Structure 1
Amino acid sequence: MKDLGHGANTEIMAIKYNKNPKDILDFSSNINPKLIPNLESYILEGLKECTSYPDINYTRLRKNISDYIKVKPEFIIPGNGATEIIYLLMKSINKRLAIFNPTFSEYKRSAELNGLDILHLNLDKNNNFEINLENLKSNINNFDSLFVCNPNNPNGKVKNLEKVLHLIVENNKLLIVDETFMEFVEHEEKYSLIKYVEKYENIFILKAVTKFFGMPGLRLGYGVTSNKEIIEKIYTYKEPWTINSFADNLSNYIFKDENYIKESKEYYIKERYFLTKELSQIPSIELYDTDTNFILLRLKKNKANDIKEKLFIESNILIRDASNFIGLDESYIRIAIKSHSENEILIKELKKVLGY
């Protein structure tokens, strides 16, 4: 199979180095380590519904998401993870797409597979990967849609996109924002563009359940837009029944668990501070500011793949070699923020392999 260059490849690495996958601490995958309480009972409920097809219109699921994000159900498009929505969206938009890099590789791949013309715009890595608004203005006639990841993967920094939104609206373009990691942000309501969806048809927002709620195997994501033309086109291409009964049933509970949501947000505020403070004390690392559940690091003296392999072989730790992100090189790695005890292990072992 083709290597798509993502993290969470513990099975492949375990086979390569003859290790038990269960012994690996996976810091390459950006997933909340906290589990929803009573998850087992919700799964069993979903199992009972597996003898019937899911509702082809996902009426209950869209209503549950609607209550959670405060947007009308008819503006919500559920998918088998946010990735399904990305690929459907690329079939449904105009041909010229601009993408801010470095970022998640599936935007580019899905665009290429659907024959879109891609304009690559660079985030300023010397200024914490900020958007150059003047550069965007100078290119405004060179694209129909603009793809922005916020908070951005791989660096994790959230941006205020209101000036970008106003520019897009003024020029009648489409702004696509991947907010997959937005729920990890301390002041989410300040940065999320969900509040503008019903006002402007120029916005399409991607969300995922699997990151913040810690269930990547569940494969549940959704798109949000009031653009009826795009909604209609997406449903023209969308396969029926792509979301299983487990995910559909879980939506009755996870979005309403206010304690889980609150505790997860508080945990990441505290743990981000701890981990960034500890990592910043390692002289051979340059650390980029983050607002989410992962951290981008630049190795001043080492190559990313060398440190990745050394950590895996000597410490059973898997990190993300970030050298394949457009705009980054072989000195970049990305690590997830996991449980406090696991983060302490990472710090200890990373110092060891770096010689501190």
Structure 2
Amino acid sequence: MKDLGHGANVDLMAKTFNKKTEDIIDFSSNINPKVIPNLKKYILEGLNKCKSYPDINYTSLRKNISSYININPKFIIPGNGATEIIYLLMKNIKRRLAILNPTFSEYERGAKLNNLEVINFKLNKDDEFSVNFHEIEEKINEFDSLFICNPNNPNGKVKDIEKLLELMIKHNKLLIVDETFMEFVYEDEKYSLIKYVEKYENIFILKAVTKFFGMPGLRLGYGVTSNKQLIEDIYKYKEPWSVNSFADTLSNYIFNDKDYISSSKEYYLNERAYMLSSLRKIKKLKVYDTDTNFILIRFEDKKAKELKLQLFEESNILIRDASNFINLDENYIRIAIKSHEENQLILKELNRIMGE
């Protein structure tokens, strides 16, 4: 199978280096380490429902998401992870798509597989990956849709993009916003464009349930838009029953767990500050600001590929080589913010290596 260049290739790395998967500490995937209370109970409930097909219309699931984000359920499209929604979307938008880079590679891959013309814009990495609004406005007639990740992957910084939305509305373009990491932002309601979905048909928002709730293997995501024609077109391509009974059942509980949600946000608020402060004490590296659960780092004289191998071979730590992101070079890595104990371990190992 083709290597798509993402993180979390734990099984392959373990096999290649003859290590046990359970011994590997995965800093390459950005997942909440906190476990939902009563998870096993909910999974067992989902197991009991596996004898029947899931509701093909996902009525209960869409209703649960609707209550969580305060959006009419008819504007919600559930999927087998946010990635399914990305690929469905690419089948149904106009032919010219602009993407702000560096960012998640599946946007461009999905676009090209559907014969879309891709126009790549560059975020300013010398200014915390800021958006060049002037350039986008200058080239507004060169694209039909604009794709932005907010907070952005791989740097994790959230942006106020209401000005971008205004520009897209003015020129009748579609703004696609990947908000899969938005829940990690402490005051996410200030930055999420969800509040504008029912007012404007020019927005399509992607969300992922399983990152913030710490269950990536569950595969649950959704798209949100009030563009009725786009919703109708997507459902023409969408496969039935792509979301399983486990995800459907869990949606009855996880969105209502206010303690889990608030404690996770509080944890990341404090742990981000700890990690950023600690990393910036290590010499010969640049640490980018983040509002999420991962950190982008550039080393002055250390290649990402070499560091990844060294950390894995010597310490069983797997990091994300970020050199394959558009507009990044071979010195960039990305690490997740995990449990405090695991974070202390990677800090210790980076100090050891960079202190050599």
What TM-score do you get using the length of structure 2 for normalisation?
Answer: 1.00
Alignment of structure 1 residues 168-317 onto 2, 5 Å: 168-317=168-317
| Equivalent-residue separation in structure 1 for 2:170 and 2:249 (angstroms) | 41
Q: Counterpart of 2:318?
A: 318
Return the letter of the residue paired with 2:108. K
1:246-267, Cα deviation, whole Å (9 max, x unpaired): 0000000000000000000000
Report what 1:136 is aligned to: 136
Q: Distance in 1 between matches of 2:13 and 2:56?
A: 38
Q: Distance in 1 between the 2:239 and 2:263 partners?
A: 36
One-letter amino acid matched to 1:180 = T
How many residue pairs get aligned? The number is: 356
Q: Distance in 2 between matches of 1:283 and 1:230?
A: 50
Deviations 1:199-242 (A, max 9, x none): 00000000000100000000000000000011001000000000
Equivalent residue, structure 2, for 1:56 = 56
User: Which secondary structure state, in structure 2, belongs to the residue aligned with residue 204 of structure 1?
Assistant: strand
Query: For structure 2, which runs of at least 5 residues remain unmatched after alignment?
Result: none
CA distance in 2, matches of 1:254, 1:6: 27
Give 1:101's aligned residue: 101
Paired residues of 2:283 and 2:354 also in contact (CA < 8 A)? no
1:110 corresponds to which residue? 110
- Within-5 A mapping of 1:5-16: 5-16=5-16
- Look up the match of 1:46: 46
Cα deviation for residue 279 of structure 1 reads 0.2
Q: Any idea what the Cα deviations from partners look like across 1:2-29, whole Å, max 9, x if unmatched?
A: 0000000011111111100100000000
Give 1:283 shift.
1.2
2:331 paired residue number: 331
Rounded Cα–Cα distance in structure 2 between residues aligned with 1:88 and 1:129: 28
Cα deviation, residue 355, structure 1: 2.4
Cα distance per residue 1:153-207 (max 9 Å; x no partner): 0000000000000000000000000000000001100000000000000000000
Report the CA distance between 1:99 and its aligned residue.
0.1
Deviation of the 1:352 alpha carbon: 1.3
Secondary structure of 1:326's partner? Answer: coil
- How many Å separate the matches in 2 of 1:52 and 1:296? 44
- Deviation (angstroms), 1:284: 1.1
> Letter of the aligned partner of 2:194 in structure 1?
I
Give SS of 2:211's match: coil
Provide, for residues 85-142 of structure 1, a one-character-per-residue CA deviation record: whole Å limited to 9, x for no partner: 0000000100000000000000000000000000000000000000001001011000
* C-alpha distance in 2 between matches for 1:139 and 1:319: 36
Q: CA deviation at 1:353?
A: 1.9
Tell whether 2:35 aligns with 1:35: yes
TM-score, length of structure 1 as denominator length? 1.00
The CA distance in 2 between the partners of 1:24 and 1:285, in whole Å, is 24
* Counterparts of 2:95 and 2:129, CA distance in 1: 26
Counterpart AA for 1:351: N
Structure 1: distance between partners of 2:280 and 2:319: 17
* Residue ranges of structure 1 left out of the alignment (5+ in a row): none
The whole-number CA distance in structure 2 between the counterparts of 1:291 and 1:313 is 30
SS in 2 for 1:323: coil
Do the aligned partners of 2:319 and 2:333 also contact (CA within 8 Å) in 1?
Answer: yes
